[in-house]
Amino acid sequence: MTDEYTALQKYISTYRDPNAIKAEGFADEAEKKKNKKVPAWKFWVKKDKSADADEAVVPEEWLEADIKQGISNQDVESRRTRFGYNEITTEKENLFIKFLMFFTGPILYVMELAVIIAAGLQDFIDLGVIIAILLLNAAVGWYQEKQAADVVAALKGDIAMKAVVIRQGQEQDIKARELVPGDIVVVEEGASIPADARLICDYDHPEDFEKYKELREQHALNPEEDPAGSEDQEGEDGEGEGIQHQGHSIVAADQSAITGESLAVDKFMGDTVYYTTGCKRGKAYAVVTHSAKHSFVGRTASLVQGAKDQGHFKAIMNNIGTSLLVLVMFWILLAWIGGFFRHLHIATPTFADNTLLRYVLILFIIGVPVGLPVVTTTTLAVGAAYLAKQQAIVQKLTAIESLAGVDILCSDKTGTLTANQLSIREPYVAEGEDVNWMMACAALASSHNIKSLDPIDKVTILTLKRYPKARDILKDDWKTEKFIPFDPVSKRITTICTLRGDRFTCAKGAPKAILNLTNCSKETADLFKEKASEFARRGFRSLGVAYQKNDENWVLLGMLSMFDPPREDTAQTIVEAQQLGVPVKMLTGDAIAIAKETCKMLALGTKVYNSQKLIHGGLSGSTQHDLVERADGFAEVFPEHKYQVVEMLQQRGHLTAMTGDGVNDAPSLKKADCGIAVEGASEAAQAAADIVFLAPGLSTIVLAIKTARQIFQRMKAYIQYRIALCLHLEIFLTTSMIILNLTIRSDLIVFIALFADLATVAVAYDNAHSEQRPVEWQLPKIWIISVILGVELALFTWVVLGSMYIPNGGIIQNFGNIQEVLFLEVALTENWLIFVTRGARTFPSFQLVGAIGGVDAVATLFCIFGWLSGGIHQEPLPDPLSQYWYKQHQSGRTDVVTAVVIWAYSIGVIIILAITYWLLNKIPWLSDLGRKNRSVHDTQMENIIGHLSKLALKHEKDEHGEPRWVISQKAAEEEEDD
């Protein structure tokens, strides 16, 4: 059998941080399909919600299974029928209905009206192309969103939890989702708790089951409590409302995901361990009391599910779309007024290009950006795919746009800014003592059962990696005679061991208890006490270390300071985030001393306040909002406090991101403009978040912010481009209709629209720069720039049309066709405009250049070969002097030289537009036009709301016994309950 100290040495050498090991196994997708749902086509079948009220109530007799036998397979099936699978699920969308939703919206309704008009005019080319554009829009949008959803589903499958369960007398390894209430599970160190469960007894002492049954019959077990309030009852020695704990602690559970507290919580017989929390020490039997949906975590998750948030991005798109629709109606009205003066018919003759309905169809096609959803969705989806490669899973595409504009990042501490692992900082060593001997004694005064180590013993032993000489000491011929675990009375751990005939008693524990063992000098004792006070002020957990050789006096060796350290990359990440204009505020459930020490280590600032200062510090209204804006962080906060901080920042006009990993973070993650669940986050946090990180730490967030801002630049470039395009053709075609009763044929117009959208879909893959400050849409600036560019484009197209009236034919060299010449000039200048609006800080990607080059080549072929020009069916229109004719070819073709001239002219146009765009962006007042004030102070309204929050509506009876409602001041205790 391996020697105790040899095994300990091997453990120190071979231990690997479980957070660095990839979770084993993948979810079986086929298994998920076993949970049959009502078929989508049976839309009339409604879920029976009558049993929902009783769904969470588990009959007490179900919780009485024997720990050696468990429950039968028949019981499993019947209980699963009632309670379902042990998992937190979100309502699944019907994919077909979701596809149909891509045909809804103001812009799409107008295009669908255009389909009806094209069908009525028997314009089958237009009809086919418009339908193709609509189908393309729906297919791309549906596919990209489905792909994003599939990635999330795969993510959840990859992190499927496992459980050890007793069924039909056998110990089985199953998926945690297959558990049902009443199952007997084995909870052990290193595993996650698979459901809310009540501890029965230690795994190595099954005989305690009889004692458990006696206590259960006497109702002497601890009732289930809210874990978030567990900290308030610690240290009360049973004076609270709870029942006295029975026996010794069976396991230690890490409830930081619920409470935010770093240290593990001791759990006793009858105590409840909570779903998704981690077991840090011990091994025990437990009975499942609630499945995931009705667990503490599940109830929290349900609070944040189902909230329908349109989002900032959708509001912007609706604003732009609605504005463009209003403009289209304005230009249609002008065209019809001009048409009435020219006595045009509504729809006849059938194949004429200058009828009123034909004008409506043309203006609908060029004035309504049907490709807007396609391009924006594709841009977001491509960005989400890139982030997925960087281990950031985007659950809601529009969250990328929100992240680009975020200007404050609120972050949980435990497990997010810190590693959620205790570590020993530089220890204090008493004068004249050796640090290596002290560390060896601390390791001797620890449990050596490496399969079930207390977190403090574990970190003490593993710290010996930093002290090779201490490890050499332990390699000597040590023999353990007696190990006395932590005793709450003596407040220390003691080990009696021997080395070559000498007897050593090593102890570690509370500094005061260790100091009382020794007879050290007053100077040594005072220095020790001073150091203990300093560690306490800094939020460290201190352990004194001492030893006794044979019957000699105890010797004080020093003190270990334990702390949950920041992740290695956190400080650099915070600096980079601040450089990007995103300051970080820390929100933690830990004590204020720990919070301040963490802030110092991360250079976050020391303006950290506790929740009492935030909620019950006598502040309200504008003063309270000022405190939240000014603070670097808040300590001792509960979920409602985090939610309130995020809400107050949003009320001040800040776009706020929230990062977290625990159940206690879920409400604020949902409330934030962009909720981010970090690596190892609970299911509730993942369900509430918009983005889920798979990589540890926050380093990914800087990359995500930069990527989001690049994606934003692509969308902003496209929006400016698309608005200018709409205005270009609306201005040119409407004025040409009114002045000359001339227009570009609708068959060519639909191809201009199709080419524009096809070419600029590639903008999703374009290279883009990242702004150094939070970005905003600045719609007034976008509209001003786009209008100017659109007007310039219209003027340059008028130059082409006007040139064909001069004696030498103007832009036409040998022969050409007015329709095709205008088509090519419009197609080229519009396609190349994206190179202007994207800016010149980065070179365009080969995808964008290739897409636009391909479309330009096709447009040139249209022009040269006269495709869809309509030929010349009648004598062309004369020039105003009735002397010159257009140099038109009978077949509608255009010579190659003319095409080359059009290319050269279009290049000149784009150069002028680029100069205009550059000058506009250099104008100081235009640079910040439309940029919102990120700190809005509406002092009067904030004070009104603050005073109202202190009022309560009470029901009472008047002197005649009649009921009445009155407004009164909330009592102090009522305010604390809120």
Please identify every residue annotated as catalytic: 412
The angle subtended at Cα 311 by Cα 309 and Cα 317, nearest 5°, is 135
What kind and span of H or E run contains 800? helix 779-803
Place of tokens 């604390």: 976
State the helix-helix crossing angle for 570-579 and 592-602, rounded to 10 degrees: 70
Query: Which of the 8 DSSP states describes residue 542?
Result: E
Place of tokens 């729809």: 347
Decide: 652 and 976 in contact? Cβ < 8 Å: no
Query: What amino acid occupies position 259?
Result: T
Q: Is 206 left (phi over 0), alpha (psi -120 to 50) or beta?
A: alpha
Q: Where are the alpha helices (DSSP H) in 603-692?
A: 611-615, 621-630, 639-651, 666-671, 683-688
Beta strands at 408-412 and 265-267: parallel, antiparallel or unpaired? unpaired
Cis peptide before 488 (omega within 30 of 0): no
Nearest to 628 by CA among 185, 884, 942, 358: 942
Decide: 161 and 194 in contact? Cβ < 8 Å: yes
d(CA 23, CA 849): 43
Nearest to 520 by CA among 486, 548, 497, 496: 548
Decide: 670 and 541 in contact? Cβ < 8 Å: no
Query: What amino acid occupies position 19?
Result: N
Helix-strand-coil percent breakdown of the chain, rounded to 5? 50, 15, 35
Decide: 667 and 644 in contact? Cβ < 8 Å: no
Query: What amino acid occupies position 341?
Result: F
Tell the burial category of 391 from Cβ atoms under 10 Å away from its Cβ (0-12, 13-18, 19+).
Answer: middle
Instruction: Say how many CA atoms lie within 13 Å of 93 toward its Cβ.
Output: 13
Chain centre distance of CA 189: 30
Tokens of 893: 């073709």
Q: How many CB atoms lie within 10 A of CB 467?
A: 18
Query: Which of the 8 DSSP states describes residue 207?
Result: G
Residues, the chain, total?
A: 978
